[in-house]
Amino acid sequence: MTDLSLLYEAILKGKSKSAVEITNLALADGAEPKMLIDEYMIKAMGEVGRRFENQEIFVPELLMAGRAMKASLNILQPIMKSSGEKTSIGKIVIGTVKGDLHDIGKNLVASMLEGCGFEVIDIGIDMDSDKFVESVREHNADVLGLSALLTTTMPYMKTVIDAFADAGLRDKVKIIVGGAPVSAGFAAEIGADGYSDTANSAVTTVKELLGIK
Ligand code: B1M
């Protein structure tokens, strides 16, 4: 039997190749995809987030762990989908706002959310309000995540939030904002539902907004 703690370790250490190998071996042994995700992979990402917050690991390790998680999920999700199992605990559209090309933090937030069981639709950088509205509508997302790294682009977050009100969708989607210059006070001021200053706390905030324990 495959030692499944190796899957936890592979994700924690960001070893995509090992994560894929162990996932395939575990499946060959008859392991349930959901059990692998819940008991090993999500726990590994939780530990990655904790270490990142405590500055025990840094951005490269966080990105590598996210990639390893994604590599295993790419194997498991199609199997779960075909057997009708619920593959996500919520749907999130995320992007960096218009005029802003910074995406490292946004990618980390997306990886962390994905690692914790959310379906993430990452629409990229430099996104205008129409694109956010269109994407949330198309995917029927529960949450919208907006990232901005520039003091000159963060006001555009309000433009996006206003566009949701204009489209009659404001009460259909929770909106969370983040990025280095963004603060809880600014989030409240522009009418966002939530704010997070790290990728890890973004998961907690999204879960709280959706009432997920
Ligand atoms: Co730019 N840049 N940059 N830059 N850049 C900053 C942001 C800056 C602070 C540097 C400085 O001057 N000290 C400054 C902004 C100043 C300001 O607005 N007050 C700046 C500037 C001025 C610029 C340009 C204008 C420079 C120029 O061309 N003259 C230009 C603008 C381009 C544009 O966007 N239109 C520019 C360009 C670039 C690069 C392209 C070279 C590159 C981006 C590469 C990329 O992202 N693919 C870049 C970089 C790398 C930085 C710094 C050095 C690092 C940003 C980063 O990735 N941090 C940055 C200085 C710094 O922050 N020390 C800087 C690591 C990342 C993990 O953290 O993104 O904060 P962060 O994400 C965190 C949290 O904020 C949070 O979680 C993440 C993980 O914990 N978070 C969220 C982020 N999004 C969230 C969303 C959420 C929740 C949490 O919910 C949805």
Distance 206 CA to ligand 1 centre (A): 22
Same domain, 27 and 110: no
pLDDT computed for residue 84 by the predictor: 62
What is the per-residue pLDDT across 132-156, written as a single tens digit (0 to 9) for each?
Answer: 999 999 999 999 999 999 999 999 9
pLDDT tens sequence across 48-99: 989 988 999 998 998 899 899 889 988 987 887 777 666 688 999 999 999 9
Calculate how far, in angstroms, residue 111's C-alpha sits from the geometric centre of ligand 1. 17
- Of 82, 106, 122, the one marking the end of a domain is 82
Domain end point (choices 54, 82, 110): 82
d(CA 15, CA 68): 6
205 and 103 both lie in a single domain: yes
| CB of 184 sitting under 6 A from ligand 1 | no
Same domain, 96 and 73: no
Q: Write the residue with the smallest CA distance to atom 48 of ligand 1.
A: 102
Question: For position 54, which CATH number holds?
Answer: 1.10.1240.10
pLDDT of residue 204 exceeding 80, the answer is yes
Q: Kindly report the backbone phi and psi dihedral angles of residue 161, in degrees, each rounded to the nearest multiple of 5, phi listed first.
A: -60, -45
**DSSP H/E element including 175:** strand 174-178
d(CA 90, CA 97): 22
* CATH number of the domain bearing residue 98: 3.40.50.280
The angle that helices 5-12 and 16-28 make with each other, rounded to 10 degrees, is 160
Do 70 and 107 lie in one domain? The reply is no
Q: Using a 6 Å cutoff on CB, does residue 62 contact ligand 1?
A: no
What distance in angstroms lies between residue 113's CA and the mean position of ligand 1's atoms? 20
139 and 47 both lie in a single domain: no
Is the confidence at residue 19, as pLDDT, over 90? yes
Nearest CA, atom 77, ligand 1: 198
**Whole-number pLDDT of residue 45:** 86
> Of 57, 82, 107, which marks where a domain is finished?
82
Check if 109 has its Cβ closer than 6 Å to any atom of ligand 1: yes
Ligand 1 binding pocket includes 14 (Cβ within 6 Å):
no
Domain count, the chain: 2
Angle, helix 42-53 to helix 59-82, in steps of 10 degrees: 160
Q: Whose CA is nearest to atom 64 of ligand 1?
A: 149
Question: 75 C-alpha to center of ligand 1: Å?
Answer: 32
Residue nearest to atom 73 of ligand 1 (CA): 105
Any ligand 1 atom below 6 A from CB of 98: no
Ligand 1 centre from 198 Cα, in Å? 13
Cross-sheet strand order for the sheet of 194-196: 119-127, 91-97, 143-147, 174-178, 194-196
Whether residue 158 sits in one domain with residue 139: yes
Read off the pTM. 0.84
Alpha-carbon distance of 210 to 173, in angstroms, equals 10
CB-CB contact of 129 with 160 (8 Å): yes
For residue 27, the enclosing domain spans 5-82
Question: Are 164 and 184 part of one and the same domain?
Answer: yes
